Amino acid sequence: MSGYDVIVVGARCAGAGTALLLARQGRRVLLLDRAAFPKDTLSTLYIQLPGVAALADWGLLDRLRATGCPPLERVSYRAAGITVTGSSRPVRGQRVSYAPRRHVLDQLLVDAAVAAGAEFRDATTVGDLLFTDGRVTGVRCRTAGGRWVSERAALVVGADGMRSQVARRAGAEVLTSAPPKSCAYYAFWDLPSDDALTMTHADGVLVGAAGTNGATIVTCYLRQREFARARQRPLEVYLETVREHDGELYERLRSAEPPGRLYGTGDQRNFIRRAAGPGWALVGDAAVHKDSITAWGISDAFLQAQLLAQTLASGTAQDRALAEYATTLRRVAQGGYEATLAAADLTLGDDELAHLRLLADHPELAELYFSVASGAAAPQEYRAALRAHPLPAAAG
Ligand SMILES: Cc1cc2nc3c(=O)[nH]c(=O)nc-3n(C[C@H](O)[C@H](O)[C@H](O)COP(=O)(O)OP(=O)(O)OC[C@H]3O[C@@H](n4cnc5c(N)ncnc54)[C@H](O)[C@@H]3O)c2cc1C
């Protein structure tokens, strides 16, 4: 077939990561995105350690550090006056997290994909897929100049996010789904960054702060049922939430310039789609979308890019390799999906507080807890460790 080996639709963490790895395998890759790069996208930016390790494996971590993105060496988790401070166990030697601005991270990935030989066209929107005998064989896209062109490839990868056109046009089945659980608001503040990700939890609320390129990002998560109220007066609700739950952070915000803009969304869908079929595959949010509260989206996108690239390189015929990719992804995605749905309930009751007291008293258990949260340890390991520690009685 003439054209490309692979067309990747969407050029952020899933798509640019996939294009990079496939181009490094020597494939002819066309990478398309409708956005004009570099451009930000909705995200609270925190990369969990497995994602940091992937960047290191790809030879990109030093470049990320060189952008001035501050290291986040610890997590400080607080609720009802209890503070648990610690960090995850390392992943392939990486112990420090980062929360880079997305116009920085995504451009860095695109640059690496192009350096590996991928062709990148931004401001190019894929409007439809091309089919031959029921198999996806290319895309129809509108160029930056407004012209419609067809491009052919043996494989089209949809890395085009939660509202994926590739998934829709290919007929990717939704295998499981759940209603949105939380909503999120965040802003960038001109404040010096701390070396920790801080999170303050109350029932129905999570307030977080982390250093990013040249700013501190401050985020509030609320339950989905609060979204109708919050969207009426978002800045007031955001500031009230910070004031009520993290007074110290609120005082720092008061001393800073008001942020230029508040970002927010209540459209945090939860689903897993079948991730491949004849001539097509999905990676990142297009394949698995879950509430952003666990901050696993970027890291999972990298791991899926790796899984797809490895499976395609295994020597198996493409159709079988794609079927294997879809089956493996379905299996590995389930645990994180369920854990995220549970976290997005934002429940903080007596049981959760007793649990936090236990963590505050046992640093080794706290490290294991933060390791599960980062994706560096399996929940079963944590559950086994918990069995050796009877929960202290709830206060009051
Ligand atoms: C409020 C919020 C906070 C979050 N916080 C975190 C966090 O702290 N940590 C974390 O790991 N994750 C976080 N996430 C999730 C994370 O941002 C996503 O999981 C991640 O961006 C997914 O990357 P992706 O490449 O799959 O898709 P996207 O980032 O959605 O990129 C898809 C790309 O496809 C392009 N595209 C779409 N349609 C077309 C088309 N028809 N033609 C051409 N191009 C197209 C878009 O322009 C876009 O650039 C957050 C998400 C939200 C909403």
Q: Write out the E strands in the chain.
A: 4-9, 29-32, 74-79, 82-86, 119-121, 125-132, 135-142, 148-158, 174-178, 182-189, 196-202, 205-212, 215-223, 263-265, 270-273, 276-277, 280-282, 288-289
Over residues 127-138, the pLDDT tens digits come to 999 999 999 999
Residue 169 sits in the same domain as residue 194: no
Ligand 1 mean position, distance from CA 41 (Å): 7
As to burial, measured by CB atoms within 10 angstroms (0-12 exposed, 13-18 middle, 19+ buried), residue 49 is: buried
d(CA 52, CA 58): 10
Same domain assignment for residues 282 and 142: yes
124 belongs to a structural domain? yes
| Domain membership flag for residue 9 | yes
Best residue for ligand 1 mutational test, from 165, 298, 299, 302 (most atoms within 8 Å of Cβ): 298
Question: Which of 240, 265, 290 finishes a domain?
Answer: 265
197 and 167 within one domain? no
Using alpha carbons, select from 199, 220, 206 the residue that is nearest to residue 77.
199
At residue 396 the predicted structure's pLDDT band, cuts being 50, 70 and 90, is very low
Whether 13 maps to a domain, the answer reads yes
Instruction: Write down which residue in 206, 237, 265 finishes a domain.
Output: 265
Residue 46 Cβ inside 6 Å of ligand 1? The answer reads yes
Nearest CA to ligand 1 atom 12: 297
Q: Is 165 in the pocket of ligand 1 (CB under 6 A)?
A: yes
Ramachandran area for residue 284 (φ above 0: left; ψ -120 to 50: alpha; else beta): left
Q: Binning pLDDT at 50, 70 and 90, where does residue 22 land?
A: very high
E strand residue ranges, 41-103? 74-79, 82-86
pLDDT at 217 over 50: yes
Tell whether 120 and 164 lie within a shared domain: yes
Instruction: Please indicate, yes or no, whether residues 247 and 109 belong to a single structural domain of this protein.
Output: no
Range of the domain at 301: 3-45+101-177+269-343
Region of residue 320 (left: phi > 0; alpha: psi -120 to 50; beta: else): alpha
Spell out the residues 6+ positions from residue 51 whose beta carbon is closer than 8 angstroms to its own: 298, 299, 300, 302, 303
Q: What is the pLDDT of residue 2?
A: 60
Q: In terms of domains, do 195 and 244 share one?
A: yes
Strand order in the sheet with 270-273: 174-178, 270-273, 288-289
Can you give the pLDDT at residue 322? 98
**82 occurs within a structural domain:** no
Q: Do 110 and 258 reside in the same domain of the chain?
A: no
> Tell me, what's the pLDDT at 394?
52
Among 343, 347, 307, smallest CA distance to 327 is for 307
| Cα separation, 314 vs 264, whole angstroms | 41
- Note the pLDDT tens digit of each residue in 270-286: 999 999 999 999 999 99
Instruction: Indicate if 337 and 195 belong to the same structural domain.
Output: no
Is position 253 within any domain?
yes
Identify whether residues 248 and 195 lie together within a single domain. Answer: yes
Q: Give CA–CA dist 304/307, Å, rounded.
A: 5
pLDDT of residue 392: 63
Are 161 and 39 contained in the same domain?
yes
162: amino acid identity, one letter: M
Residue 310 lies in a domain: yes
Find the 146 Cα to ligand 1 centroid distance in Å.
24
DSSP type of residue 290: -
Ligand 1 site, residue 264, Cβ cutoff 6 A: no
Q: Residue 249: pLDDT above 50? A: yes
Residues 260, 112: Cα–Cα separation, whole Å = 31
Enter the pTM of the model.
0.97
Q: Are 98 and 69 in contact, with CB atoms under 8 Å apart? A: yes
Residue 244 belongs to a domain with what CATH number?
3.30.70
- Tell whether 291 is covered by a domain: yes
CATH of the domain at 299: 3.50.50.60
CA of 367 to the centre of ligand 1 (A): 29
Same domain, 295 and 332: yes
Return the structure tokens found at 16.
């640019």
**For residue 163, how far is its CA from the centre of ligand 1 (angstroms)?**
10
Cβ–ligand 1 distance for 212 under 6 Å, the answer: no
| Structure confidence at residue 96 (pLDDT) | 98
Strands (E), 190-282: 196-202, 205-212, 215-223, 263-265, 270-273, 276-277, 280-282
CB 238 within 8 A of CB 187: yes
Same-domain check for residues 194 and 165: no
Question: Is residue 70 lining ligand 1, measured as CB closer than 6 Å?
Answer: no
> d(Cα 383, Cα 70) in Å, to the nearest integer?
33
Query: Which residue CA neighbors atom 26 of ligand 1 most closely?
Result: 284
From 285, 302, 374, the mutation candidate for ligand 1 (largest count of ligand atoms within 8 A of CB) is 285
Q: What is the dihedral of CA 390, 393, 394, 396, to 10 degrees?
A: -170
- Which pLDDT does position 93 carry in this prediction? 98
Rg for the chain (alpha carbons), in Å?
Answer: 21
- Burial (CB < 10 A; 0-12, 13-18, 19+), residue 384, is exposed
Residue identifier of the C-alpha nearest atom 17 of ligand 1: 43
Number of domains observed in the structure of the chain: 2
How far does residue 117's CA lie from ligand 1's centre (Å)? 23
Domain-embedded: residue 352: no
Domain end among 321, 343, 365: 343
Test site for ligand 1: of 9, 37, 43, most ligand atoms within 8 A of the Cβ:
43
Tokens 């695109």 found at = 110
Higher-pLDDT residue of 51 and 194 is 51
- Computed over every residue of the chain, the mean pLDDT equals 96
Instruction: Tell me what the mean pLDDT of segment 362-383 comes to.
Output: 96
